[in-house]
Amino acid sequence: MYFEDVELGDEIGPLEKIASDQDVIDFCNLWGPPTPNRFTDANEAAKSKLSSPIVPGIMTMALMAQLFTDWASQDSLKDLNLVFRQSVPHNKPLIIGATITDTREEGGEHLIDCDVVMTGQERERYVIGTATVSLPSRNSQ
């Protein structure tokens, strides 16, 4: 993907991800939050008034980052800024998409800015935010 190939309003994605119970357990084993917790334990989730364990915010962020690493070159994501609107469930399709809102050159880099959103199958808006991606330019080749 090159900078010259994108235009304002272009859509990126959608990318569909699912965070299974095991994926979240594996993530938490690496991350190390106190156990039991609302991410892996139904009782702890219930104490937090959640209907079931939820995906950690930083795991949700990692899932959303893949929209951009899949689309552009793999080390192109410069900035990802997210607001968590609703708890993200396990085992349900999570649909991630972005819309390009600006293209610019700054500090010798060719950058695109996007609005990004993660929704559920019923179009629940779990996460909203913005992202900035650096793309190579054909003119630099």
Partner 1 sequence: MAMELDYDKSLYGIEHKAGPFEVTKEMVLAFSKSIGQRGEIYNDESAALAAGFKGVVAPPTMCTLMVRHVKLPDIKLSEAHGKARFHAGQRVQTRSNITAGDSLTASSHLKEVYSKTGRSGTMVFIVWETTFSNQEGEVVADVEESFAVRE
> First vs last Cα of the chain: how many Å apart?
13
Q: Give exposure, 4-19, as e/b (b: 16+ Cβ within 10 Å).
A: eebeeeeebbebebeb
Please choose, out of 4-12, 27-35, 103-111, 116-124, the segment that lies near partner 1 by the rule CB under 8 A.
Answer: 27-35
Q: Give exposure, 36-46, as e/b (b: 16+ Cβ within 10 Å).
A: eebbbeeebbe
Among 35, 51, 81, 121, binds partner 1 (CB under 8 A): 81
Picking from 7, 5, 1, 2, the residue whose alpha carbon sits closest to that of residue 99 is: 7
Picking from 50, 34, 33, 53, the residue whose alpha carbon sits closest to that of residue 42 is: 53
By the rule CB under 8 A, 7 interacts with partner 1: no
Of the two residues 9 and 93, which places its CB atom closer to partner 1 in the complex? 93
65/88 Cα distance (integer angstroms): 16
In whole angstroms, the minimum distance from the beta carbon of 137 to partner 1 comes to: 19
Please choose, out of 4-12, 58-66, 101-109, 114-122, the segment that lies near partner 1 by the rule CB under 8 A.
Answer: 58-66
By the rule CB under 8 A, 78 interacts with partner 1: yes
Please choose, out of 2-10, 23-31, 105-113, 118-126, the segment that lies near partner 1 by the rule CB under 8 A.
Answer: 23-31
By the rule CB under 8 A, 63 interacts with partner 1: yes
Of the two residues 20 and 121, which places its CB atom closer to partner 1 in the complex? 20
Among 1, 10, 23, 99, binds partner 1 (CB under 8 A): 23
Are the C-beta atoms of residues 40 and 73 closer than 8 Å to each other?
Answer: no
